[in-house]
Structure 1
């Protein structure tokens, strides 16, 4: 049964400005695991990755119905890829939902589906 669905879109230029303005922004958004993956990317790909993870985490918090806050922080949510590159979303270390992330030159977007088995 589907228990939640969330969607978020973000402007790449906004994420780029926030990242340049404050290194704390990236540390607030990315978990240690995600930061390691981020560090291995090209400069162009880094903003796409950061914007995609931001959108995925916002979408997850919408699907969960909490928004980002004390019940659900950016650090509680992590996106990991499987061997084929398919992303999966984890909440506090437990796989919890399906996620799709996309981006264009100007935008990154993500959709999250939460379901019970």
Structure 2
């Protein structure tokens, strides 16, 4: 049974602007995510990756009904990719199935999260 759906969309220019703040990456990405971010060769790909992670974590917070804030932080969530590149949350603060999809375009990143109780 679906108990939560969250969607988030972010313009890549907003992420690019946020990167001017000294600790922005450390506030959004866990260490393994940061290592993957740093492995990309181009700034464009780094911004796409970061925007996708931002959107996914925001979408999760909306699906669970908390929003990012005092009860849930970006660093409470970590996203990994399987061998096919499909993203998923690693040990999310939810008991049940968590479905995640992230999409990028030249201008924005969008993520959807579906929470299911089993």
TM-score with structure 1 setting the length: 0.92
Residues 88 and 95, structure 1, Cα contact 8 Å, conserved in 2: no
Q: Which residue of the partner structure matches residue 102 of structure 1?
A: 103
Unaligned runs of 5+ in 2: none
- Conservation of the 8 A alpha-carbon contact between 1:28 and 1:74: yes
Q: Which of the pair is proportionally richer in strand?
A: 1
Cα shift at 1:70 = 2.1
What is the TM-score when the length of structure 2 is the normalising length?
A: 0.91
Query: Alpha-carbon deviations, 1:24-72, whole Å to 9, x = none?
Result: 1111010111001111112221000000000000000000000001221
Give the aligned length. 116
Match of 1:7 in 2: 7
Q: RMSD between aligned alpha carbons?
A: 1.7
Q: 2:110 aligns to what SS in structure 1? A: strand
**1:89/1:95 contact within 8 Å kept:** no
CA distance in 2, matches of 1:104, 1:64: 26
